[in-house]
Amino acid sequence: MFKKILIANRGEIALRIIRACKELGIRTVAVHSDADADSLHAKIADESICIGRAPSSESYLNMKAIISAAEVTDAEAIHPGYGFLAENAEFAEICQNCGLTFIGPTPENIRLMGDKIAARQSVVQAGVPILPGTKENVPSVDEAQKIAEQIGFPVIVKATAGGGGKGMKVVHSPASLPNLFATARAEARSSFGNPDVYIEKFCEKPRHVEVQILGDKHGNVIHLGERDCSIQRRHQKLIEEAPCPVLNASTRKKLCDCAVGAAQAIGYTSAGTMEFLLDSSNNFYFMEMNTRVQVEHPVTEMVTGIDIIKEQIRSAYGEPLRYKQKDVKIRGHAIECRINAEDPERFSPSPGKIDGYHPPGGLGVRIDSAVYDQYTVLPYYDSMIAKLIVHADTRIEAIKRMERALDEFIIGGIKTTIEFHQRIMCNKDFIDGDIDTGFLERTKL
């Protein structure tokens, strides 16, 4: 097993990886910006090293500084967490060339699944259903109009690279296509340095359902069940749960089998997620693959009892998966709420010093967070400061447990989205499971 791993990330995911490493007997190196010197991951790691100034481009995205930190501390491997460099094929390649193990998939897998057109083509060959759409990038608005007429409105214009809802526009009529097509291309160029877009049929009122995959370097791939991530704001997930409350056994098996088949077809060797849209008739369609550990991985860990980070590390070291598909059992129901340092009404950022911090506890409650009392939430990075996860025997019991845990959660000095999550847990449609990705847009909380 690795003797020392460098974590090329910050916040709760860096702390989560450090904890997994400690339980595996692996020493850890934390990297941090100068603004993050007092961060918990820098304090708890065996070693920490400053790699630059506060802006991500000068620290957590600074490949040279990260590689240098790994070399001077004699780290053998680098875990990128999520975000930052986690899905950067160039960084994974640089790690390999420097004799460092990148704890994630191969650069080839990252490139393939990072290109949405290529990803769609690869899963189709594996027998996975996709929505009608283009097989290549759409170069002009005239071509876009022809394709949209063939597919039938509404359609969605999507950036070929990247994700997170950027470069993505829903088009309901021919008249609105030229402006939205140009806007999508501009957003794609600005966000990903690549203006290419493609077009597919827009699925009305879908659920966002994803399948957790684990692969190793010996050709083994298994799934750990699915998650429902339909509660979103501007394409950003806010609440996730496992399992999906509306899937029947037959559809669940087909969905998970498709996810495993697609991962096997590309020789996937790490933790990853196959993401799907699920329509009102329980038909599912491949959307994209995330070639990294997900923010919402704890809900899967809670229902399976499998530590995804540990398995990812073992796989990167070359060990075969310790589980066969028959060993994976889904027990009960888990829900995760992302707690952000934001105004719960306007969702504007609310950085500042935390004055009073009391996390909830009790049976079936988990907190993944790197904040503490008197910690200063910085304005430079993502606003998520904690993940509150609960587990219970049934979905209704999990909702009640989440309500109770949110009531206990105290974060003073700044505004947070705790109140927002409390309103959702009390919403009848959410309780009934009557949700889709447009839930927040049409629901008055």
CATH of the domain at 163: 3.30.1490.20
Residue pair 239/431 in contact (Cβ under 8 Å)? The answer is no
Residue 297 lies in a domain: yes
What pLDDT shows up at residue 191? 87
What pLDDT shows up at residue 356? 98
End-to-end CA distance of the chain: 49
What pLDDT shows up at residue 288? 94
Task: Quote the distance between the C-alpha of residue 444 and its chain's center.
Answer: 26
Residue-wise pLDDT for 42-83, tens only, equals: 999 999 999 999 999 999 999 999 999 999 999 999 999 999
Residue pair 295/237 in contact (Cβ under 8 Å)? The answer is yes
Residue-wise pLDDT for 11-50, tens only, equals: 999 999 999 999 999 999 999 999 999 999 999 999 999 9
Which residue do the tokens 């200063």 mark? 376
**Alpha carbon separation from 311 to 104, 211, 306, 314, 399 (Å, rounded):** 11, 16, 8, 5, 29
Identify whether residues 229 and 300 lie together within a single domain.
Answer: yes
Residue 96 lies in a domain: no
Ranges in the chain, pLDDT < 70: none
Identify whether residues 8 and 61 lie together within a single domain.
Answer: yes
Three-state secondary structure of 31-52: EEEHHHCCCHHHHHCCEEEEEE
Identify whether residues 59 and 162 lie together within a single domain.
Answer: no
The count of structural domains within the chain is 3
Averaged confidence pLDDT in the chain: 96
Residue 352 lies in a domain: yes
Identify whether residues 57 and 145 lie together within a single domain.
Answer: no
Residue 305 zone, left/alpha/beta (φ > 0; ψ -120 to 50; rest): left
Instruction: List the one residue out of 143, 205, 208, 206 whose CA is nearest residue 177.
Output: 143
Identify whether residues 154 and 79 lie together within a single domain.
Answer: no
How far apart (Å, rounded) are the C-alpha atoms in residues 84 and 340?
Answer: 18
Range of the domain at 156: 132-201
Identify whether residues 318 and 177 lie together within a single domain.
Answer: no
Instruction: List the one residue out of 354, 363, 424, 364 whose CA is nearest residue 386.
Output: 354
DSSP 375: P
Q: Give me the phi and psi of 53, to 5 degrees please.
A: -80, 175
Identify whether residues 65 and 188 lie together within a single domain.
Answer: no
Identify whether residues 136 and 260 lie together within a single domain.
Answer: no
Residue-wise pLDDT for 128-173, tens only, equals: 999 999 989 999 999 999 999 999 999 999 999 877 778 999 999 9
Residue 109 lies in a domain: no
Which of these three, 201, 236, 251, is where a domain ends? 201
**Which residues have CB under 8 Å from 12's CB, separation 6+?**
368, 369, 370, 384, 385, 386, 387
Residue 330 lies in a domain: yes
CATH of the domain at 229: 3.30.470.20
Which of these three, 85, 106, 140, is where a domain ends? 85
Just list the catalytic residues. Answer: 292
Identify whether residues 164 and 289 lie together within a single domain.
Answer: no
Strands 384-392 and 197-201 come out as unpaired
Identify whether residues 371 and 438 lie together within a single domain.
Answer: yes
Residue 99 lies in a domain: no
Three-state secondary structure of 277-313: EECCCCCEEEEEEECCCCCCHHHHHHHHCCCHHHHHH
Task: Quote the distance between the C-alpha of residue 10 and its chain's center.
Answer: 15
Instruction: List the one residue out of 254, 260, 261, 290 whose CA is nearest residue 275.
Output: 290
Strands 207-215 and 197-201 come out as unpaired
Residue 23 zone, left/alpha/beta (φ > 0; ψ -120 to 50; rest): alpha
Residue 355 lies in a domain: yes
pTM (2 d.p.): 0.94
Q: Would you say the C-alpha torsion 410, 299, 16, 275 has a positive or negative sign? A: negative
Which of these three, 21, 55, 85, is where a domain ends? 85
Identify whether residues 424 and 303 lie together within a single domain.
Answer: yes
CATH of the domain at 28: 3.40.50.20
Identify whether residues 194 and 250 lie together within a single domain.
Answer: no
